[in-house]
Amino acid sequence: MSQDIKARLKQEIIDSASLLVKRGVISLSLHGNYSARIPGADTFLLTGGGSIASLQPENIALFHLDGTLLEGAVEPAGAEVVDMHSIVYQLRLDVGSVVHTHSPQATTWAVANKPIPVIYEALVRFNMTDGVPLAAYGPRGSTESVNNIAEAIKSHANISGVLLANHGVLAFGPTPHAAATANILIEEAAYLGLQAETLGGALLIPKEMIEYTQQRRDQFAAKGTQQA
């Protein structure tokens, strides 16, 4: 395995975690964990502690997909969530990074045991057309918790994250930055949904408009940057 690849991915995790902290989308405790799949291998990197603030390369350990620690060190809070990250990689081969946070707005929906429906156009534009489903509660990192995450992923093809009932949010994407973007968008949707309650509640984007929205996105993306 190339040390350059590991070093690059560790830096991407650090940079993406810093982005989440700067955007203010994680809890006051700064709790969270971040991982990245090693391309072409059954291994992944995972932050070894309970916070994603002020990460350093030595804070990121290497695991096999079966949960075996291969390099580095992991605190108890980090060891609890290894399987939570691993199951996403096992079920979604397109995923290259996973982040878990207690983002306040999204976690509000999670503690209410309510999924986030497709109420926000950004979810559609980023292919989250199944919204953000809820994984039923299980103690942190337990077999029940991991199985519930697996069930939510298997039941919803077009997602980039799941809410963990009474716990937080798990977001994912092809890269660490994409996983951070997913977490940010989920937090935005959660916030807007809660705010809309003061006006009578958010309305769903009509199903027939979801594909239309993506078609317009793709048409303009195909044209590239336009210049006068």
Establish if 228 belongs to a structural domain: no
pLDDT score for 130: 98
Pick from 39, 38, 93: nearest CA to 71:
38
- Tell me the per-residue pLDDT of 55-78, one tens digit each, with 9 for 90 and over: 999 999 999 999 999 999 999 988
Q: Is 130 exposed, middle or buried (0-12, 13-18, 19+ CB in 10 A)?
A: middle
- Residue 206 gets which letter from DSSP? P
Among 46-55, 56-65, 170-179, 209-218, the least confident range? 46-55
| Structural domain boundaries enclosing 156 | 3-221
Asked, for residue 226, whether it belongs to a domain, the answer is no
Q: Kindly provide the residue ranges of all beta strands, DSSP E only, lying in 67-138, ordered along the sequence.
A: 69-71, 97-101, 134-135
* Segment 176-203, tens digit of pLDDT: 999 999 999 999 999 999 999 999 999 9
In this prediction, residue 1 has a pLDDT band, given cuts at 50, 70 and 90, of low
- Averaged pLDDT of the chain: 96
pLDDT bucket at 2, cuts 50 / 70 / 90: confident
Q: Is residue 179 part of a domain?
A: yes
Check whether 209 has a pLDDT greater than 80: yes
Taking residues 215-221, report their average pLDDT: 95
pLDDT band at residue 49 under the 50/70/90 scheme:
confident
Number of domains in the chain: 1
Distance CA 39, CA 26 (A): 28
Query: In terms of pTM, does the model score above 0.75?
Result: yes
pLDDT tier at 15, thresholds 50, 70, 90: very high
Inter-residue contact 97 to 179 (CB < 8 Å): yes
Q: What is the CATH number of the domain that holds 160?
A: 3.40.225.10
Q: Would you say 134 and 144 are in contact if contact means Cβ atoms under 8 Å apart?
A: no
Q: What is the pLDDT of residues 142-164, one digit of tens each?
A: 999 999 999 999 999 999 999 99
